[in-house]
Chains A and B, each alone.
Chain A
């Protein structure tokens, strides 16, 4: 039987409705019989299978129409659904032609058959009701390449398949696009960037027959090629930089992204790429790269919301894995089978859970912590060799320091008792308490305003016992920052403590709801205090610097660490290194208190002042403390008080007198209040720890341990980590009836591939993820190669050969060129063309075949004839044009303006983003902090992918949030895109820099500058009409900016990039309106 695959379902419906012949292949050579796959399956899948298909539970009247043996059997009622060759005796024919209550499909289904569809079904039954297996589930066979008389426009077999179909429809392929268009197209498609002017000149000048191939090879070898491929792959595997649920905190994932970059750069075979991601950890002696690859299994969204039921979330994570795998590798909607047998394809609910069971060994928890040592579960550290050595050195140092301290700390019981009595006495005498300071002056060096609230009332908003309270009370020494909010700030506070002897300086960081950065800082998501300095001033004498020897926070040892992050240790505030800082990110409703021990006692007289300097010099913008108090303690070992936000640290000492914080950990105070025999273990340990901490003879040794730990924490924080897959004993996997995670009544399943696709031979062993990966990437699998090839095709033509990239099943679209799809799939798995230079599963080979074809290279202009015959251009008589993807919109603007960073890989970055965009987030409450230097100008690919609030510029241009796997982006065209390109600061800065470069390098005359601009943005000269329009804009802008110099200055000052001081701002501003208009052109963001 000859198949003519030229009708896609939707057009068939339309044609049918319009009364034209079904399967209206204009140039069909012979009257075709009805084909099940082409003509009947789409109709039945849409209208019959829901009730008469694979889903046993949904089946009505015991009738099944998707399998011939079932469809020709009499049903319970005695009717025979289909009598092959005899439509009049076939119940389905009677019913589809019936009217009223008996009509099929019933009116309640909201599915009506057209008259033409009914006729088609009737003809099919009359012709014998021949069924065919669904195309995508049949093994890939390499089809013969059509031969053709006219080979003039045939570069490779792709063209033969395409042109064979065109010819039979009476169409001819378009001629090759002009060289400039072709170069722009292939450069954009392969790299996401534009060709440079030099690239265009070289290509135009190169008349060698292999000029184009040389370009293709150059582009395929570039890093930008890997970046472009990676961008698409990351959509599919739902790679993002944050958790996606609830607090949506950052996850360590970017090394996985870099793994993907390297894979595409080195053209790793796709089968190995598949294996490493799904089961890299199960490979024999896995390399670090392979274990990084296995992060794939951990890229799903996770929740750290308190009160989640772990089992429910484990069910969600598992289901996500099946959906993703099935869309990315199998082009199937197996996710539908979570709750019921698939309605249209032969996937059963059992298949869904059997697939889920492959991942049952992945170590994970339902609630995935987003903070602390256990954050994100299994992680892999990726130290450099130098970092490994440094880590080993530090570990040795730390161990030695600990053992020295332990040795020295052994006390005989009598000694211990004496110390305890002395401590209790000091405590009861109030010697450990803190004295809050009432500053006499406070100023900020970079522009913020500091106000001291002492007796003056100040409003405070803070959480206490789960609700927000507002207090208006005297500030009692509170210092509040307001006004200008620079990225970095230094506070200088002067206190006059009066006569006394001081052992420690205290800093209470005061939370307030008005502060966007975790309620501590004036921005960002934490405060970061780089350095604290102090100096003593006596009379008119020079300030005498006071050194600190120890920094303790109320949650550091000896009590349990909870809010401290090893990457931001207290000691970093006194280490003289502005790059390191003490900071806190989480710690809802806590006022952290930093106690800094002076090197030696500080004596003050009545007039002495102490000047305290708080430096915030971190790269994280505005991680600057918003409210704080200072305190002093006489004792060098006074413990920092623990305070809830809003509730001042008070405690009652044994005498019953209320004092300010008593200067001991809670558990130590509890211990001291009881006879020794009544203390519990916590209290005993706390007391012993404190006695060690406060023993002056041990102070050095104690400090050595703290320093080594702080250094280790800082080093560890500088080492990249990535979530990874650790295999443990597999959890039991039940089928969940209707997806209900609470229902354990259904059978347990073992890992298995969908039954109708075969079975894995694992010699009786439980099948593993590695078995799954091997099956996915085997040549026996009918779906993996077809799915990947179809998706790849879309990147070069704007549409897949089957448009439903994630559904090659019966509800998907019948491919326009099934033989071509299969030929490409076969060639991808096992190249026979240029076999010597290619390997199996060779992505670059596949892509090179596509972009070398005439089909790819032809012009996108349709002739009138093909437009009529094939309005959607599914037969590809010409190329398509489409808007470039979100990241590339950014990349291109930065590239032509000269701002683009060419750094490859590395941590994700924060480009400029509107303030307040993250205001609806919490845990922690946060404000966006843009990066610095070239981090602001990196390719869109590297943007921090915040799932719940994706960067608005990416979102506007249809980048997916990657909360779920996305294999097909939408491409919309909205006013918000126009606003973005016109007004987003990054595009304004790009326009300004572009103009600046045009002024510097484009010559003096406007015409020459315009040529220079067009050459870069459009790779062509401006036409006379374009010149007229832009000259008009330029002249009017010159006039307007001349009259509005401050406007010109503001416009010319956009962005963080360098503005030369010698520049004429009016000329720059005026030319910037021209570059801005050019960057907004449809042509710039369209791939032709």
Chain B
């Protein structure tokens, strides 16, 4: 054990009225120290506590296109002709007995066939809903997982579970874990950025800031939301009347005064504080450039369908690429209002208009820039929707089976993985739990989910929960 590490840990312990005060110990750092020198030599270095990497990383960053509200797998990626045949008939009780249900509690359960057709796309011949021709166009780059399942049936807890692997709040979100584990590759932007877009149809379910919280990890690992109204990053703009020169001058004065203080006060936080003011200024300088899309050529804007500054999913997809280029580790785009309790048929048309083209454009754009290979792109929501109808042509929340689409970052191409039963009710073939998904995602970025833990309230808290998750090796190229 070398002295730098001892110092680093005692420093952490000291800093942490927070970090250590909580009883947080960077277990991974300790675990790392116990690895043999041989293993260390073979493994590349990360900038976070997972150092060296637990497994060779395939992805350097993650872009999660989070479709909030619960997209219907039955009108996106999971074609169920049998459900169409059964449409209007009672749902077999053998499937539904004793299962959780949301708004359909106590109601007659009736099969409701897909409201749109499906087509085969690409060389891989994957079936995708015909509303998504652009995604169909890049389908050979992707892997569709048709056997996701989750444990929470209402939006708020389901988001929390999908993001943090726990329904108890106060656990770090997946972006925070990845940032904590690997650090960032930029110091003038946050390492974990969140973008939220509103849709043009359906129901706008609320999304709590908890979904990108760092939980018990230090707050520098929390997701920073970029806003489409007002300051893109809160408080990033100088106060009215304060020019860049005055701002720079002020920060220099603050840092000079803090440096004087550092001579008499032996507070390790002081050096950090000085560095944070420098970084704050750098962020102030770099964010406007990041957001200024005037240098994007028209064909790129057209490919995404983005009108810069409109806060749409399309603009956010383009912004996600720009963030990825600048070294942001984890980028999460929430796109709202997939909660189609009624009229799933028409609402899907809205959603397809909003997400089909930009999703495909992002993957195409990353590919043409040589970034797709090391960027893991995830597309999916907190749960799926019932094969049973609700109200006027709607579908209720559904947790037993739904779909994710994955691309890039070490994911096998053109693969369809897992399956639900004939009616699209339950994942029956190769089911993938949320914890399995988390384990796989962490594995792709070079982290062993079982090892990345912080000690909190006497537990080794992990993204994959106390039971752990299994890496789905079949998904990995």
Chain A residues close to B by CB (< 8 Å): 10-11, 13-14, 17-18, 110, 112, 245-248, 301, 303, 305-309, 312, 316, 323, 327, 333, 335-336, 339, 344-345, 465-468, 470, 742, 794, 798-800, 803-807, 809-813, 861-862, 871-873, 880-883, 914-917, 919-923, 925, 947-950, 952, 955-956, 958, 960-961, 963-964, 966, 968-980, 982-985, 988, 1023, 1025-1026, 1029-1030, 1032-1033, 1036-1037, 1040-1041, 1044, 1046-1054, 1069, 1073, 1076-1077, 1080-1083, 1086, 1088
Contacts and interface: CB of A to CB of B under 8 A. Distances in A.
B88 interface: no
A14 B2 CA distance: 10
A872 B10 contact: yes
B16 A970 contact: yes
Interface stretch (B368-376, B390-398, B423-431): B390-398
Q: Categorize the interface residue count of chain B.
A: 35 or more
Contacts of A977: 276
B336 A920 contact: yes
Interface in B55-107: 98, 100-103, 105
A950 B209 contact: yes
Contacts of A983: 235-239
A975 B20 CA distance: 21
B117 to A, nearest CB: 20
A948 B210 contact: yes
B241 A1051 contact: yes
Contact of B196 (A466, A809, A920, A1033): A920
Nearest to B198: A919
B108 interface: no
Contacts of A958: 18, 219
Given A948-B206, A974-B219, A979 B459 contact: no
Nearest to B219: A972
Interface in B218-243: 218-220, 224, 227-231, 233-243
A149 B277 CA distance: 49
A110 B450 contact: yes
Contact of A1082 (B154, B209, B261): B261
Contacts of A1036: 246, 249
Contacts of B276: 973-975, 977-978
23 contacts: A246-B154, A246-B206, A307-B105, A312-B153, A344-B458, A466-B203, A467-B201, A799-B17, A861-B265, A882-B17, A882-B269, A915-B229, A948-B206, A949-B209, A955-B209, A970-B217, A972-B18, A974-B276, A978-B279, A1026-B257, A1026-B260, A1081-B257, A1081-B258
Given A798-B21, A948-B209, A970-B216, A1080 B254 contact: yes
Interface stretch (B23-31, B122-130, B131-139): B23-31
Given A872-B14, A1033-B249, A1077-B254, A305 B243 contact: no
A467 B391 CA distance: 12
Interface of B: 1, 6-7, 9-10, 13-23, 25, 30-31, 33-34, 98, 100-103, 105, 153-157, 167-170, 190, 196, 198, 200-210, 213, 216-220, 224, 227-231, 233-243, 245-247, 249-251, 253-254, 256-258, 260-261, 265-267, 269-270, 272-273, 276-277, 279-280, 283-284, 334, 336-337, 340-343, 346-347, 350, 391-392, 394, 396-397, 450-451, 455, 457-459, 466
Contacts of B337: 468
B256 A963 contact: no
B266 A794 contact: no
Nearest to A913: B234
Given A948-B208, A1023-B260, A1026-B260, A861 B9 contact: no
A308 B102 contact: yes
Nearest to A470: B200
Given A307-B154, A958-B18, A1080-B250, 17 more contacts: A246-B154, A312-B153, A333-B457, A333-B458, A466-B340, A803-B23, A952-B235, A955-B209, A973-B272, A974-B276, A979-B284, A982-B251, A988-B239, A1023-B260, A1036-B249, A1069-B241, A1076-B250
A956 B240 contact: no
Contact of A970 (B22, B156, B157, B265): B22
A956 B219 contact: yes
Contacts of B396: 307
Contacts of B7: 871
A184 to B, nearest CB: 13
A17 B253 CA distance: 44
A135 B153 CA distance: 42
**Which 8 residue pairs spanning A and B have beta carbons closest together?**
A811-B458, A1051-B241, A466-B342, A916-B229, A1050-B241, A948-B208, A970-B18, A307-B103
Contacts of B153: 307, 309, 312
Given A110-B31, A1047-B242, A803 B21 contact: yes
Nearest to A464: B343
Nearest to A961: B210
Nearest to A956: B219
Given A916-B229, A974-B220, A1040 B245 contact: yes
A991 to B, nearest CB: 9
B198 to A, nearest CB: 8
Given A309-B102, A336-B458, A465-B392, A18 B170 contact: no
A17 B14 contact: no
A1025 B237 CA distance: 30
A327 to B, nearest CB: 8
Contacts of B343: 465-467
B231 A914 contact: yes
B265 A1052 contact: no
B266 A861 contact: yes
B170 A467 contact: no
A975 B269 CA distance: 13
B276 to A, nearest CB: 5
A933 B358 CA distance: 46
Given A916-B230, A983-B238, A1051-B239, A306 B103 contact: yes
A1054 B208 contact: no
Contacts of B236: 979, 983
